[in-house]
Amino acid sequence: MFKFVKGYMETIDGVATYPMISLLIFFVFFILLFWWVFTASKTYIKEVSELPFEEDNQQNLEL
């Protein structure tokens, strides 16, 4: 199976650029994610982290 895929991929012109593009997309995504994490406000992070607990409390009050 791998020999078939390898042989097929060798016939495609410029196939070596696809792994580089995917690595670049992966790298840029995680750089942006780290930037967002470090620049996000602490109040927003605290508010979002407490959302699951608020939902449980509301369900308990309705019962």
Domain residues for 33? 2-62
How much is the pTM?
Answer: 0.56
Tens of pLDDT, residue by residue, the chain (63 residues) = 677 777 777 787 887 888 899 999 999 999 999 999 999 999 988 988 888 887 666 665 555
Q: Structural domain tally of the chain?
A: 1
Q: Up-side HSE of residue 37: CA atoms within 13 Å toward CB?
A: 6
What does the block give as tokens for 57?
């409390």
CA distances from 48 to 16, 41, 57, 60, 61 (A): 42, 11, 15, 20, 21
